[in-house]
Each structure stands twice: as structure tokens, then as C-alpha cells.
Amino acid sequence: MSLLEEIEKTLTKRRMHFTLIDPDKQSPSQAGEIAASVEKAGSDAIMVGGSTGVDFTSVDRTVSAIKSRCNLKVILFPGSAKGITPRADAIFFMSMLNSRKREFIIGQQVMASRIVKMMNLEPIPMAYVVVSPGMRVGEVGDAILLDRDDSEGAISYALAAQFMGMRLFYLEAGSGAPEHVPPKLVRAVKNEAQIPVIAGGGIRTPQDARTLLEAGADIIVTGTLVEKSDDVTLAISKITDVVRSF
């Protein structure tokens, strides 16, 4: 069974939580410690990637350290074709649909395709849409930020993604965003599209997670939370306890 099939099967039973680890934010050994902590806390998978300061060496060392400390599946979340290593279990082969630049819609994907095949990585097709405020990823990706009230726009992006064969739809407020993705956008997409919705950026508390899960989010992603927490296991456990209740 592929990792995507495992995710889809799990989502028929319950919601999921993924932890995002940015190789630019800590050393590989620290990333390994975080991975061990979030596995203990009940996270379902680890995503590895970042918008800036990431290259093959940093990603490779980070994934290696994570693999040495935990048994969770590792999914690459690359900002470019540089952020790929064969040590991972899969890669979110994603397109930033609301970027102004061809590079982030299809350019980097063309550059990465043969590398992904050569490394025998499982590609998981995913549409990626950046919601205001967007933070650093919105700047780097030159995104036409989706307005926080634009439910119709969110639906249109999600349906376009579904019709193009994408298997997941990611609504991203940006790492460290002061507010998470508006629940009204998640709810609007879930009412119209038939692919799982991932929500990330600005999710700091169990109530944040609950709000998005009640709106219909299938997968909750937290990243900055593990970077800022003194007790990672405790912080993530509070989130995963909520996620597992849905």
C-alpha cells in the first residue's frame, strides 16, 4: 500500500496531524529530537521542508536524523527541486496554484520530476494555495494571496485542483501567521470538493485545531509550534488529542 493510500484509508476513520520540520530552523540533531517527541505525542507523519535556506545537504541530514530517532513516515515538503532526498518516504509533488510565477506552478516540478523518479520517491499530487497573510512563503512564491473572505475563490481553486487530478488540497496561511486559515474557507471547500483538505499556518492551540476540524479540515499541520515549545511532546499532545477526537 502506498503512503497516499494509507493516508486516504486513515481519513475514512479519523482526522490526522502532521508535524512540519524546517531544516533551516534547527540542526539535524535537534530535528531528530523533535521527531522523537512528536511521535510520542501522537503525530501521524513528519513533513520536511521550508521556503528559504534549504538545500539537498540540509534536507538529507535532517531526514537522516529524523529517521534515526522515530518510525514516522517522512514526507518532503519542498520549496524547490533542491529540497529532495531519497531518504524520505514520499514527496508532496505540489503546485502553488496562486503564484504569479511559472516556477512555482510547474517550473520546479519539471526540474524535480526525473530526480523523484530516479530516487524512487512516492509522489503525492497536491495543490497548494496561500491565504492572506501568507508570510514568507507568500513572498517567496510571489503569491496572489487568497483573501480571507474569498470563499468562492477557495472553492474554484479546490475544484480546479480536483479536476486536474490533485489528491490533496492545502490551504496555507504561512508559517508563524498571526491567524490560521479562516474556517469559512475550509468549510466552503469541503462543501464543494471531494479531495481531503489540509490546513496549516498559525495553528498554535488545541482550540485553533478544533475550529478548523469542525469546519472540515482533514489534516492539521503544525510547524512553528514545535520550534517555540519548551515541551514539544506536551504541546503536540494537546493538539493530537483534539485531532484524534474527530
pLDDT, residue 109, reads 97
**From CA 209, how far away is CA 217, in angstroms rounded?**
9
Asked if residue 203 belongs to a domain, the reply is: yes
CATH code of residue 97: 3.20.20.390
Q: What pLDDT score was predicted for residue 53?
A: 79
Residues 104-116 have pLDDT tens digits of 999 999 999 999 9
Q: Report the chain's mean pLDDT, rounded to a whole number.
A: 96
Q: Is residue 168 part of a domain?
A: yes
Gap between the Cα atoms of 215 and 230, Å rounded: 30
pLDDT of 182 > 90? The answer is yes
Q: What is the pTM of this model?
A: 0.96
Total domains, the chain: 1
Is 135 a residue whose pLDDT tops 80?
Answer: yes
φ, ψ dihedrals at 126, nearest 5°: -145, 135
- Domain extent for 149: 3-240
Tell me which amino acid residue 68 is: S
Contact criterion met (CB below 8 Å) for 172 and 137: yes
Establish if 246 belongs to a structural domain. no
Residue 206 to residue 208: CA distance in whole angstroms: 5
The reply to whether 245 falls in a domain is: no
**Does 75 map to a domain?**
yes
User: How high is the pLDDT of residue 116?
Assistant: 98
Residue 239 pLDDT exceeds 90? yes
Q: How confident is the model at residue 58 (pLDDT cuts 50, 70, 90)?
A: very high
Q: What confidence score (pLDDT) does residue 161 get?
A: 98
Residues constituting the chain: 246
- Among the listed residues 206, 131, 209, the one whose alpha carbon sits nearest the alpha carbon of residue 170: 131
Q: Give 183-227 pLDDT, tens digit per residue.
A: 999 999 999 999 999 999 999 999 999 999 999 999 999 999 998
Residue for grid cell 534547527:
26
